[in-house]
Amino acid sequence: MNMSRKKRILVTGSAGFIGHHVVMALQHNHFEVVGLDVINHYYDPALKYDRLKEQGFEKSRISYNNCIQSSDIASRQFIQLDLTDAHSLDKLFQEQQFEIVVHLAAQAGVLYSLENPIAYVESNLVGFANILEACRKYPVKHLLFASSSSVYGQNVEIPFSTSHNTDHPISFYAATKKANEVMAYSYAHLYGIPTTGMRFFTVYGPWGRPDMACLHFAKCIAEERTIHLYNQGNMWRDFTYVDDVVTAVTKLLLRAPKIAKKRAPEAPFRLYNIGNNQPVLLLEMVALLESGLHKKASIDLLPMQSGDVPVTYADVDDLVTAIGYRPRTCLEEGIGKFLSWFKAYYKNQAMEKAA
C-alpha cells in the first residue's frame, strides 16, 4: 500500500445523517475521503441531496457508479453505488485501495423492518457481506461499522454494557444489526481484519432523519400535527448529539484493534457503545422542542408498539478507556443547536417553493 499519499477512507452511507457529519469532519490533511450512498427512497431523497450539496456535490453531477470530486474540497469524492452491486464495489476497492472503511450505510428504522424485512436482508446483510468480502480481498487497516442499541432487545440490565447478552433482538432491524456484529467478528477472526463495531444510541442533531424522534416531533409541532407517544409516554432514551458521535468515530478510526500475544487467538475485534450515558424521558425532548418553537404539541398517548423498548442507557466505560472521550452534550444544548438548523433549513425550503 502506498504510504506516501494521504490515508484514504471510504465512508458508506455518506448521504445519510451520521455519514454526512462524519464526511464533513474528515477535512484535515491526513485523509482523502470517498463517500458512497445508494440514495434510496426510504425517506425523501431531497434531504440526502441537500446533505451532499453541503459536501460539494451537486445533484446534476451525480450518476450511478460515477465517482465525482467535491467542488469545495479537492480530497473529497462521492460515488452513488448500491452495496448489493458486488462487482462495482469490488472495482471501487481495487481502484481506490482504501486504508480505512467507515461503514454507516444500512436500511434503518425499527418499524419499517416489520413492513419490509427483505429491504433489511438486502442492505444490512447482503450489502454488509459485500463490504466484508471487499475488505478481505483488498486488505484495509481498519473497518469500523455501525451497529445499534436495538441489539440489546429484551435485556433488562441497565446501563447496557457490551458484555451483556444480546441474543434476543425484538425487531428484525435489530436482528440484522446483531448479525452484522457476528459476521464482522468471523471475518476479523478468519482474515485478521482489524474491526470495530459501534452501537449508536438514539443519535439526533442537524440534518437528522425525518423518521427519527427529534426531526419528526419538531415537524409535527411546527405543522400542528399530533405526536404519537408509545407506552403512554413512559419512554426513556439515551439521546446522543451527533457531534459527540462523530468525535467518537474519528477517534476510534485511528485506534484499530490489535491482538496481544498473550490473548491469542482472540480476533482483532472490539465493540463499543456510543451514547450519552444519561437517559431522558421522551416528553422532556418534546417540552424542549415546544419551548424552542414557541408552540404547544398535540400529543396522543398510546400503548407500547411491537419491536420497541421502554429504556435505552449506554455504559460507555469501555469507550472512555479506549479513546479518553465521553459524549457530553446535554439534551437542552443539543436541541438548541438542532432547532437553529431546523428553522433555517425549512425557512429556506419554504422560500425556494415560493420563488
Tens of pLDDT along the chain (355 residues)?
344 457 899 999 999 999 999 999 997 767 999 999 999 999 999 999 999 999 999 999 999 999 999 999 989 999 999 999 999 999 999 999 999 999 999 999 888 898 999 999 999 999 999 999 999 999 999 999 999 999 999 888 899 999 999 999 999 999 999 999 999 999 999 999 999 999 999 999 999 999 999 999 999 999 999 999 999 889 999 999 999 999 999 999 999 998 755 555 689 999 999 999 999 999 999 999 999 999 999 999 999 887 778 899 999 999 999 999 999 999 999 999 999 999 999 987 766 666 5
**How many Cβ atoms sit within 10 Å of the Cβ of residue 188?**
24
> Which amino acid is it at 75?
S
Strands 142-148 and 195-200 turn out to be parallel
Nearest to 248 by CA among 327, 151, 318, 184: 327
**Closest of 107, 116, 274 to residue 202, by C-alpha:** 274
In sequence order, which residues have a C-beta less than 8 Å from that of residue 126 and are 6 or more positions away? 83, 84
**Cα-based angle 97, 103, 107 (whole degrees, multiple of 5):** 135
**Residue 284, burial from CB neighbour count under 10 angstroms (0-12, 13-18, 19+):** middle
Question: What is the C-alpha separation between 113 and 119, in angstroms, rounded?
Answer: 8
User: Residue 118 phi/psi, 5° resolution?
Assistant: -65, -35
Q: Which of 112, 120, 173, 204 is catalytic?
A: 173
List the grid coordinates of 66.
Answer: 460515477
Rg of the chain over all Cα atoms, to the nearest angstrom: 20
CA-to-CA distance for 201 and 221, rounded, in angstroms?
A: 24
Q: What grid cell was written down for 47? A: 434531504
Among the four given CATH numbers 3.30.70.580, 3.40.50.720, 3.50.50.60, 3.40.50.300, the one describing domain 7-206+240-275+313-328? 3.40.50.720
Cis amide prior to 159 (ω within 30 degrees): yes
Q: How far apart are the first and last CA of the chain?
A: 51
Catalytic site includes residue 185: no
pTM: 0.94
Q: What phi and psi, each to the nearest 5 degrees, are found at residue 289?
A: -65, -40
Reference 10, options 134, 99, 70, 83; nearest CA is 99
Which residue blocks in 258-328 are alpha helix, DSSP H? 282-293, 317-323
Neighbours of 173 (CB within 10 A): 25
Residue with cell 480476533: 267
Residue ranges covered by each domain of the chain: 7-206+240-275+313-328
Tell me the one-letter amino acid at 108. A
